Amino acid sequence: MKTQVLLWGAQRASAAVLALCVLVHLATLIYAVQGGLSAAEILARTRGNVAWLAFYTLFVLAVTVHAPIGLRAVLGEWLGWRGRSRDAALWIFAIVLCALGLRAVIMVFA
Amino acid sequence: MSTLQVRVRRGDAFQAYDVPRHESQTVLDVVTHIQRHLDPTLAYRYACRVGMCGSCAMTVNGAPRWTCRTHVDKVARNGRLEIGPLRNLPVIRDLVTDMREFFDKWARAQGRFKGERKRGDDFARVAPESEERRLADAGIECINCGVCYAACDVVARNPDYLGPAALNRAWTLVNDARDAAQTERLRAVAGDAGCQACHTHVSCTERCPKGISPTAGIAGLKRATLGAALRGRL
């Protein structure tokens, strides 16, 4: 039960981080494509840039925390899937999400 | 005199009745007219008729309402009314629901006051303007009608969920400076079956006939349980 409360807290906290991250991400996206920037030009700016690396790493970690906890409630309420099997599946989902996200972050950085 | 076309849910089907329309007629008046003059087999429940006892809540044109204080003027659409039992509760017969689970959840949420003062002790002094007293006051007028419980989509999806009424009651006690069961209560209302399950749809607040906001109370419980969990007191 304590874990459930902490999960809720983690989802709230990660939502706060995501609100900021999504804003920065979208604003940058809109700003970057206005002049018809190509993928190569974008990569030229992100590669080796530690600030963008840190920002998108934080973004991916926040998603990794946030999405599985939300999905946990959806699976419980919509499919009636509760208990250990659900949590095991969500751990796998979280790991895959984190791995794919960080892979993308590294590709844009290195 | 005009006529009201009323459809009443009876088991799996609706039954239609024509009820004479009166001035200042309430939905409970309509149901009572049917039972007394048209169909004595209709089962429904009421007691005080003045919005105090919380017995007469039903689903009226799709929304849960206290029928004794719901005027037909306010809810009838083109002279039609559709009346059914409250949602999220087992139906005993016609418009009567089994409220046991609803009240059991009050008990499960530690909805009873637990004092520690004895007969010889002095009175507890609670300042009327204190934050705790104000928060408790905001939720204290609940009449246990079950309208919020029927309005809640989380209850519909998660039958273990304690529901808005029980959590609102717990919140008033969390803010009671005299209560001695705070940790047990926070434990009782925390987690997937408790306050953390609330999605803040605000249906309970929208429908509460007493103007209470269980949503606000549940938000308070979420903060209180998280605080207790982080301090290792849960």
Residue A13: which CATH number? 1.20.1300
The token pair at B201 is 């749809």
B197 and A6 in contact by Cβ < 8 A?
no
Structural domain boundaries of chain B? 3-97, 100-230
CATH number for the domain whose boundaries are B100-230: 1.10.1060.10
Query: CA-to-CA distance for B38 and B19, rounded, in angstroms?
Result: 9
ipTM: 0.87
**What letters, b where the CB count within 10 A reaches 16 and e where it falls short, cover A71-94?**
bbbebbbeeeeeeeebeeebeeeb
Cα separations in angstroms, A2 against A16, B123, B159: 21, 35, 20
How far is residue B10's CA from residue B62's CA, in Å, rounded to a whole number?
15
From B154, B187, B226, residue closest to A8, measured CB to CB = B226
Would you call B157 an interface residue with chain A, using a CB distance cutoff of 8 Å? Answer: yes
pTM of the model: 0.92
pLDDT digits (tens, 9 = 90+) for A17-48: 999 999 999 998 888 888 777 888 888 989 99
Overall domain count for chain A? 1
Q: Is residue B150 within 8 Å of B88, Cβ to Cβ?
A: yes
Task: Going residue by residue through chain B, which has 234 residues, state the pLDDT in tens, using 9 for 90 and above.
Answer: 699 999 999 999 999 999 999 999 999 999 999 999 999 999 999 999 999 999 999 999 999 999 999 999 999 999 999 999 999 999 999 999 999 999 999 999 999 999 999 999 999 999 999 999 999 999 999 999 999 999 999 999 999 999 999 999 999 999 999 999 999 999 999 999 999 999 999 999 999 999 999 999 999 999 999 999 999 988
Give CATH for domain B3-97: 3.10.20.30
B158 chain-A contacts, CB cut-off 8 A? 76-77
Domains B3-97 and B100-230 share a fold: no
Residue A77 lies in domain: 2-109
Q: To the nearest whole angstrom, how far is the Cα of A79 from the nearest Cα of chain B?
A: 9
Residues A53-110: tens digit of each pLDDT: 999 999 999 999 999 999 999 999 999 999 999 999 999 999 999 999 999 999 999 8
User: With an 8 Å Cβ cutoff, is A49 touching chain B?
Assistant: no
Nearest-by-Cβ selection for A4 from B158, B192, B228: B192
Comparing CA positions, the residue from B8, B136, B143 lying closest to residue B80 is B8
